[in-house]
Amino acid sequence: KRGLIINISSIATKKVFENASIYTATKNAIIGLSNSLREEVRKNNVKFVNVFLGATYTDIWDEGFKEEHKDLMILPRNVAKIIHGIIKMSETDDLMVEDITIKPKLGDL
């Protein structure tokens, strides 16, 4: 048996943002589930990685806000590069990347 599950989550699980209560609650629920499942299947060589992203240039944002803050956001292609690196690292049997936090270089919006 072997596997890799990568959860793309949000920095909102680590920092409180106004008007994001439902979003934050659902993201935290998935993280709790993933962390529990990780422990249940760890011995079967199934790996879970939680990726906590800061503001990322995606359609979750209102178009005006997204364009105004584009230079302050992570680009999806850079997230893809990091995910590719996580996949490569997971091929190593003696380690497991469990959590990784990625923020824009200037921090949270």
Q: What is the pLDDT of residues 3-45, one digit of tens each?
A: 999 999 999 999 999 999 999 999 999 999 999 999 999 999 9
Give domain status of residue 36, yes or no. Answer: yes
What is the domain extent for residue 77? 3-102
Which residue do the tokens 């920095």 mark? 11
* Mean pLDDT score, 55-67: 94
Q: What is the pLDDT of residues 87-106, one digit of tens each?
A: 999 999 899 999 999 999 99
Q: Where are the beta strands (DSSP E) in the chain?
A: 3-10, 46-53, 99-102
- Considering its fold, how many domains does the chain have in total? 1
Give domain status of residue 11, yes or no. Answer: yes
The CATH code of the domain that includes 67 is 3.40.50.720
Give domain status of residue 109, yes or no. Answer: no
3-class SS of residue 70: helix
Question: What does pTM read for this prediction?
Answer: 0.90
Phi, psi (deg, nearest 5) at residue 77: -65, -30
pLDDT at 61: 93
